[in-house]
Structure 1
Amino acid sequence: MAMIIDIQDETEKLTTQQYELIENVIRKAADMENVKGKAELSITIVSKESIRLINKDYRGKDSITDVVSFALNDGEDQHFIDGMPNLLGDIIISYPVAEEQALEYNHSLERELSFLAVHGFLHLLGYTHDTEKEEKTMFERQETILKSYGIQR
Structure 2
Amino acid sequence: MNCLISIQIDDQFHDKIDNALLEKTVKTTLEIAKTANSFELGLVITDDASIHKMNREYRGIDSPTDVISFALLEGEDFVMPPDQTLHLGEVVISYPRAIEQAKEQKHTVQREVMWLVTHGVLHLLGYDHENDEDRQQMQDIETVVIKRIED
Give the TM-score of the pair, scaled to structure 2: 0.91
Structure 1 residue matching 2:14: 3-state secondary structure: coil
Task: For 1:95-114, list aligned pairs within 5 A.
Answer: 95-114=95-114
* Counterpart position of 2:74: 74
Task: For 1:44-55, list aligned pairs within 5 A.
Answer: 44-55=44-55
Q: Determine if contact 2:33/2:141 at 8 Å carries over to the other structure.
A: no
Residue 37 of structure 1 and its aligned partner are, at CA, apart by: 3.0
Distance in 1 separating the partners of 2:140 and 2:34:
17
Residue 149 of structure 1 and its aligned partner are, at CA, apart by: 1.8
* Counterpart position of 1:30: 30
Q: Determine if contact 2:40/2:88 at 8 Å carries over to the other structure.
A: yes
Question: Which range moves more in the overlay, 141-150 or 16-25?
Answer: 16-25
Question: Which range moves more in the overlay, 92-101 or 29-38?
Answer: 29-38
Question: Which range moves more in the overlay, 3-12 or 56-65?
Answer: 3-12
> Aligned in 2, Cα 1:134/1:83: closer, same or farther, shift over 3 Å?
closer
Amino acid at match of 1:133: E
Distance in 2 separating the partners of 1:6 and 1:93:
14
Residue ranges of structure 2 left out of the alignment (5+ in a row): none
Residue 110 of structure 1 and its aligned partner are, at CA, apart by: 0.5
Distance in 2 separating the partners of 1:136 and 1:120:
15
Amino acid at match of 1:139: Q
Q: Percent identity?
A: 35
Residue 17 of structure 1 and its aligned partner are, at CA, apart by: 5.8
Residue 12 of structure 1 and its aligned partner are, at CA, apart by: 3.4
Q: Determine if contact 1:47/1:95 at 8 Å carries over to the other structure.
A: yes
> What RMSD over aligned residues (CA atoms) do the two structures have, in Å?
1.8
Structure 1 residue matching 2:13: 3-state secondary structure: coil
> Aligned in 2, Cα 1:8/1:58: closer, same or farther, shift over 3 Å?
same
Structure 1 residue matching 2:75: 3-state secondary structure: coil
Amino acid at match of 1:106: K
Distance in 1 separating the partners of 2:27 and 2:60:
31
C-alpha deviations, 1:36-93, integer Å up to 9, x for none? 2321000011110100010011001001100000111112123446754111111000
Distance in 1 separating the partners of 2:110 and 2:101:
11
How many residue pairs were aligned? 151
* Counterpart position of 1:123: 123
Amino acid at match of 1:146: I
C-alpha deviations, 1:18-45, integer Å up to 9, x for none? 2211111111111122222321000011
Residue 132 of structure 1 and its aligned partner are, at CA, apart by: 1.7
Residue 138 of structure 1 and its aligned partner are, at CA, apart by: 1.0
Question: Which range moves more in the overlay, 50-59 or 70-79?
Answer: 70-79
